[in-house]
Amino acid sequence: MRPRSPVAAEALGFALAGTAAYAADLGLFVLLRGPGGLGPLTAKALSFLAGCTVAYAGNALGTYRRRPPAVSRARQYGVFFAVNLAGACIQLVCLAVSHYLLGFTTPRDDVVAGSGIGMALATVLRFWGTRTFVFGTGAATVTGPGPGPGPVAGTEPETGAVRGPARRKRAPAAGG
């Protein structure tokens, strides 16, 4: 069965890439924490990085493969990582609010807050951020004080291609 709208197809591809990323994150965390003997924060940091890489590859080579990158793949990955880091922060905030402010302190409460509610909110942010800032048609634009988005400094307005260093014309010498 094929999704009826482009956004539905995009959401499905995003979900498949996210599922693969989650599996990589979880699997690597368990391996690094158990047989690898790493501490919980080191293991989670490395597994998070691996999960981000799998999600980026799945989205770049799958979901958004028909959208040519407006910037270098390295920069695109950096923005993708930042969006995913923001999603992780949302999950931590949901957990902290539930646990420390609302007093829901059982392990089950923590799972519901961080991995349930937090994951749902983070997924919405990640989907929006990925399609808007990473793979969106306006991924190479910035919003300034003018009427709306415009090209990033140092890029061609139509193609987004990076230009060489800007050269200023010198003003003619006085009296000459």
Within a domain: 151: no
Mean pLDDT of the chain: 82
Q: For residues 79 and 3, which has the higher predicted lDDT (pLDDT)? A: 79
Same structural domain for residues 134 and 74?
yes
Same structural domain for residues 74 and 29?
no
Question: Which amino acid belongs to residue 51?
Answer: G
User: Which tokens in the block code for residue 9?
Assistant: 């197809």
Q: How far apart are CA 14 and CA 64, in angstroms?
A: 9
The pTM of this model reads: 0.71
Within a domain: 174: no
Domain count, the chain: 2
Mean pLDDT of 156-175: 49
Q: How far apart are CA 144 and CA 150, in angstroms?
A: 7
At 12-51, the pLDDT tens digits run 999 999 999 999 999 999 999 889 998 888 989 999 999 9
Q: Residue 7: which residues within 8 A CB-CB, separation 6 or more? A: none
